[in-house]
Amino acid sequence: MKKRKYSFNFILGTVLLALTLIPAIVGLFWTPYDPEAMDVSLKMAGISIKHIYGCDNFGRDIFSRVMSGSAITVVIAVGTVALGSIIGTILGAFTGYFGGIIDEALMRINDVALAFPSLLLALVMVSLLGSGKYQVMLALGIAFIPSYARIVRSEYIRIKNLDYVKSAKLAGASDLRIMFVHILPNAKTVLLSSVMIGFNNAILAEAGLSFLGIGVQPPDASLGRMLSEAQSHLFSHPSYALLTGCTIVAIILGFSLLSKEIK
């Protein structure tokens, strides 16, 4: 059996995600300090053995907040991509496979939605649904549906006329079986790559909304909200913004590198 050779991009992407996602997952259950616990005596404390990222302007441990904020940001990204990709895949599969008037109608609506940036659509949805992590997850998920629907539809149009699909029809396979058992696995490469890119977009979108103050709300932390808090202390305490920003960059770069390796 031939051993697979892993590229530099794959190794670097895996390392970056391990360094950021493992603390985020741990942050769902445990952090060294309470992320919201304030200690005036530690206000703007520098990096030390006890506080490896230092403390913020409220005396809160930055590393604990990065762990907790990363966890919330990643959970929102997972929920966003899951909602957008599942509904988008179903819509794209039906429209691409059956075509006809329903396909035309839905794709025109889809084209209108795609004409607006997903973040702008999310802003509209957040204004309707309100602020908060669940509202942001729902808003971003809805905003991501059109792009997934378009990608999956294109793959189904390409694949549905191939010989093996025609053979399955002649063998009496149902349309649903052909769509989700025969065609979908052969569209997985494009779909998985889109999901990886979707994680990047979701993390950036959530960070942007929270940075503007209309995303995740206190007492919950998120990477975007932490960047917003850190901007007032950019020159006096640059490590707060730098370490938080580097976490976002590392997650995005990790997913970007791995998305290029999907074959």
pLDDT at site 1: 46
Q: Is residue 211 part of a domain?
A: yes
Q: Per residue in 58-105, pLDDT tens?
A: 889 999 999 999 999 999 999 999 999 999 999 999 988 988 887 788
The CATH number for 170's domain is 1.10.3720.10
pLDDT(263) > 50: yes
In the chain, DSSP finds a helix count (H) and a strand count (E) of: 10, 0
Share of the chain above pLDDT 90, in %: 26
- Whether residue 82 lies inside any domain: the answer is yes
Instruction: Give the pLDDT score at 68.
Output: 92
Alpha-carbon dihedral angle through residues 152, 158, 162, 167, given to the nearest 10 degrees:
30
1 domain-assigned: no
* Burial of 28 (C-beta count, 10 Å sphere; 0-12/13-18/19+): middle
Q: Look at residue 191 and tell me if it is in a domain.
A: yes
| Res 122 pLDDT > 80 | no
Per-residue pLDDT, 4:
60
Read off the pLDDT of each residue in 3-17 and give the average, rounded to a whole number: 81
Range of the domain at 175: 8-259
Domain count along the chain: 1
2 pLDDT more than 60? no
What is the chain's mean pLDDT, rounded? 86
Instruction: Please report whether residue 3 resides in a domain.
Output: no
Structural domain contains residue 2: no
Residue 234 pLDDT exceeds 70: yes
Indicate whether 16 belongs to any domain: yes
Give the DSSP letter of residue 32. S
